[in-house]
Amino acid sequence: MRLLAILSFAILFASSCTLRQSYTFNQDLSGTYELSIDMSAMAALAGGEDGEEDVVGETMKSLNIDSIQEAMNIQPGISNAVMKEEGMILSFSYNFSNVEVLNTSLKDMDLGSALSGKEKKNSETPSFEVKGKKLKYNSPELDSDSEKDGLEGMEGMGGMMKYEVSFKFAQEVKKIKGENATLSYDKKTVVLESNLEEMFSGESGLMDVEIKLK
């Protein structure tokens, strides 16, 4: 999928960026997924945005965004796919009809390959498991070989590449279980925070979380 090209470019190009994944779930676990790459911190460190914005803009122009959106929208259970650029933020979002459809779309996007910078036949991808009122998120597992590929030439910068995952629900969350998980004050949003250096450490389940809904 050509979306992999823009993800890989943005992650490799931005020595200081924030990669965000946001999952908004309705009561029936349909919802909206959004992936965004915020490179504004990189621009601030560089003392301006003009040069970086030019590169981002040119890369967006080189992609056939209409084709990417159309390819997503024709998939069963997917609708309203939109890719856009706003300043130093690249984003891609779509609606999904259920968790099974979401898992399939995440596999097609192949985030693991994007993070490592190279397409991998057996790349791990994020996925969800539903058991009753429990929703488990399995994060992509990236090994030290992936680190060598993904951070080649940028040693020591993995800690500057922030990785955030959030889950927003229509109902309250009763309980969460996860090493890096926090629950919002209103008990409807769960947030995971890490960085690419930690993600490439090879530690299993670093960004996994089990969420029990009321």
Q: What is the pLDDT of residues 160-196, one digit of tens each?
A: 678 899 999 999 999 999 988 999 999 999 999 988 7
The confidence score (pLDDT) of residue 32 equals 98
Q: Where are the domains of the chain?
A: 3-213
Region of 156 please: left (phi>0), alpha (psi -120 to 50) or beta: left
- Residue 143 is predicted with a pLDDT of 54
The whole-number average pLDDT for the span 35-47 is: 65
Q: Which residue has the tokens 């997924």?
A: 33
b or e along 144-166 (b: 16 or more beta carbons within 10 Å of the residue's beta carbon)? eebbebbbeeeeeebebbbbbbb
142: its two tokens? 């990236």
Query: Model pTM?
Result: 0.79
| Percentage above 90 pLDDT, the chain | 38
